Amino acid sequence: MTPPIVITVRAPDGPGLVSDIAGAVAGAGGNIIDVGQHTDLSTTGFGCRLEVEASIERSALAEQFAALAQRRELAFEIHDSKERPRVVIACSKTLHCVSELLSRVSLGELECEIVGIVSDRTDAGEVASRYGIELTHIPVGEDRRGQEEAFSEALGRLAPDLVVLARYMRILPPEIAESWNGRMINIHHSFLPAFPGAGPYAQAHERGVKLIGATAHYVTAGLDEGPIIAQDVARVSHRDAVADLVRRGADIERSVLSTGVRLHLEHRVMVFENRTCIFD
């Protein structure tokens, strides 16, 4: 089956909006095969995600939605599911999330093209070589600002649609976070908002928690404060040492980051202020 065309729509909520959106698809000769919609009551913002049979002409859809946008305060995007977004992975020494993403892409579980790995370490060289992917090494020295500028330049050269921080253990400056707003996903090895920052498993062990988790979220200028895309947890007990939490947490991190990336690639995430709506 040919993958469907995906349409995402944002607009202020109002009477007849859903009917108008469906009418735009019908006016282009399209057939809706799946739809998800949400109204955020605190902002009165409306969002929806539609899947339309791929036999329709995208130009006809664009024409219909452009006309609708003139009648309503509406923003839309039309995505061809056959397109493979460009993705860059950034990592440091810990590689389980990198390996998981590369494996899922190679198996066809994530529809994207990994166009590069950027790292402040050389540890990812072997896994990058195994998958035939360029590794850009940007070492950390005394010139932190220079390293950050080199990181930004590497992203600009690789021109990804999405940047994934797969345990990239560097705090990015606000200007980089802002320039990739909505296009950069981080995996944090705790169930945010608990234990942000460094060493969350040690913090969790010291606190005696009974649940550990991981969080995939969009990167913003505020450290570990971006909109949350996916989370999961596992039960632990007093018998678990910090090393046990790290080992069990790594499994959660793999799954949560892969889920967050998949949801983004499939255009299932919509942000309302600092909250997300997930059309899954």
Each of the 280 residues of the chain gets a pLDDT tens digit; together they read: 688 999 999 999 999 999 999 999 999 999 999 999 999 988 889 999 999 999 999 999 999 999 999 999 999 999 987 889 999 999 999 999 999 999 999 999 999 999 999 999 999 999 999 999 999 999 988 888 999 999 999 999 999 999 999 999 999 999 999 999 999 999 988 766 676 767 776 777 787 878 888 999 999 998 888 999 999 998 988 888 888 888 988 999 999 999 999 999 999 999 999 999 999 8
Domain 5-80: which CATH number of 3.30.70.260, 3.10.129.10, 3.10.20.30, 3.90.1310.10: 3.30.70.260
* Distance separating alpha carbons of residues 135 and 262, to the nearest angstrom: 23
Annotated active-site residue 224? The verdict is yes
Angle subtended by helix axes 96-106 and 242-265, to nearest 10: 40
257 within 8 A of 101, measured Cβ to Cβ: yes
pLDDT confidence of residue 79: 95
What is the tally of helices (H) and strands (E) in the chain?
8, 13
Residue 175's pLDDT is what? Answer: 96
Please answer whether residues 247 and 171 qualify as being in contact, where contact means their C-beta atoms are separated by less than 8 angstroms: no
What's the pLDDT score for residue 212? 82
Superfamily of domain 86-278: Formyl transferase, N-terminal domain (3.40.50.170)
Q: Which residue among 224, 232, 240, 251 is the active-site one?
A: 224
Q: pLDDT at position 116, please?
A: 98
Q: How far is the C-alpha of 165 from the C-alpha of 62, rounded, in Å? A: 33
CA 164, CA 116: separation in Å to the nearest integer? 11
Structural domain boundaries in the chain? 5-80, 86-278
Q: Give, rounded to a whole angstrom, the gap between the first and last alpha carbons of the chain.
A: 20
DSSP state of 120: S
